[in-house]
Structure 1
């Protein structure tokens, strides 16, 4: 039984040594893909979405979303401001938004019914931009690649074993990877993006305490019932606690920005 685990761990170690990086919060990351390639993938994904999803033509809605997004983008590191971002409002009931590598932001009109004001919308957009700043797409692709490589090595080892439990073991390895690696990675990304997004919205002049109200609104939209260990997102209660824990620092950033005057005034 030791052979598959030994080979799998060896594969992961080799992948880990190949390209290690660090997130904005100082968390070690596995990055196996060239960022230019990831950016191209983000751009292509965005073009596909625009081809399949109606784009809102409402002038006021577009101006509102553009206003909030641009205010948040102004406080991102310089390298994310070198090229203009494309910001599109999709006419859909989905309560969602996203940012993609390559400078793309999408906001669904359904979100604007839950994000009740400019501050709450800034919390969402800051969160999504934080995913890009943290290289989460590259990291997720890399972790999936590492898992597939390890499972492939384990499968080869299992195929050589003379055991009636071969199928059960193979299934167990796959489930273990899903629950033990892939889902927790996603929860780590979401939590990290929450905190970086909180910092961004505060620096941009949006009230950070509104991020808590946003996720309270989000919680009312969900059906609940999924254990966090099997969820790709932190449960609302946990992410709200994390935001509240970091609120003093965010509020200090907001007060510093407020002292300079000229706070955002994006009208919904």
Structure 2
């Protein structure tokens, strides 16, 4: 009971981050997101939307959002799996989230995959794609940790193909806060988010894990309740992971 009370109290302190946005998309957000999505469709290899792995990730996202709040559950979330081996995921607004196959195979458990999705949903719920901000994909959980130092200016950007990504540490913290509350609301251990961050490879070409980001996430979780045992991985998660691991490798873009 004490853990339940702690979880409810922690959720109450975090839910305000999303409350102002979750009712509707920002003006112009959906149009910008659709244009970005089309560019991705044109340039990147994706799994079919009716693919078993894609549908599984879609169900996880919808479950997270619906347990968080009625408004978040009403957003038409759409998950796409990118045929890429790097452990990455990103959101572009309009309820569109892209997850690399490498993120799914990197996840050691279903809970870790859910933590990755929760962060990307957090960007949407925080209103990071409003018109008063530059319409570019938000900095994302895994890409930020793997490839970027803490930027000193809003103009610091990276690229995936021809798609620019702006990395904003304040937005990353906001998305992390909401991700923590999403995990708690769904009965998952919020400390999984930090575990995934710490487990990422420390050297990926010229990239390196940002210790400042990890320290910030650890501070956010200081007062969050933890759980000894999570819900575990479903048989479907294990099946899909085996399918992806046994498929022919896909070149990175």
Same fold flag (TM > 0.5): yes
1:112-261 matches, cutoff 5 A: 112-138=104-130, 141=133, 179-180=152-153, 186-220=168-202, 222=204, 235-248=212-225, 251=226
RMSD (Å) for aligned C-alpha atoms? 3.7
Q: What corresponds to 2:64 in structure 1?
A: 72
Shift of 1:224: 5.5
Contact 2:80 2:99 in 1 (8 A): yes
Measured at CA, do residues 211 and 185 of structure 1 come closer, stay the same or move farther in structure 2, by a change above 3 Å?
closer
Report the CA distance between 1:240 and its aligned residue.
4.0
Match in the other structure for 2:95: 103
TM norm structure 1: 0.59
Spell out, residue by residue over 1:71-102, the C-alpha distance to the aligned partner (whole angstroms, 9 max, x if none).
21212433333353222111112321122321
Which sits farther off after the overlay, 65-74 or 104-113?
A: 65-74
Taking the aligned partners of 2:98 and 2:135, their CA distance within structure 1 comes to 25
Bigger Cα Rg: 1
Distance 1:103 1:138, change over 3 A: same
Asked if structure 2 preserves the Cα contact closer than 8 Å seen for 1:119 and 1:211, the reply is no
Asked if the contact 2:120/2:175 (under 8 Å) is kept, the reply is yes
> Secondary structure at 2:46's aligned position in 1?
coil
1:24 and 1:134 in contact (8 A); partners too: no
Match of 2:35 among 44, 59, 69: 44
1:225, 1:85 → 2: CA distance? 31
Cα deviation, 1:29-69, whole Å, max 9, x if unaligned, reads xxxxx922122101221122122211124944224312322
Normalised to the residue count of structure 2, the TM-score between the two structures is 0.62
Matched, 1:267 2:237: yes
2:161 paired residue number: none
- CA 1:182–1:48 in 2, change beyond 3 Å: closer, same or farther? closer
Shift of 1:125: 0.8
Residue 140 and residue 219 in structure 1: after superposition, are their counterparts in 2 closer, same or farther (change >3 A)? farther
- Relative to 1, partners in 2 of residues 1:64 and 1:246: Cα closer, same or farther, differing over 3 Å? farther
Question: Which is richer in helix?
Answer: 1
How many residue pairs match? The answer is 193
- Report the Cα offset of residue 130 of structure 1: 0.7
CA contact (8 A) 2:202 2:208 kept: no
Unaligned runs of 5+ in 2: 1-14, 137-150, 157-165, 239-253
Residue 215 to residue 129, structure 1, CA distance change in 2 (3 Å): same
CA-CA distance at 1:225 after TM superposition: 5.9
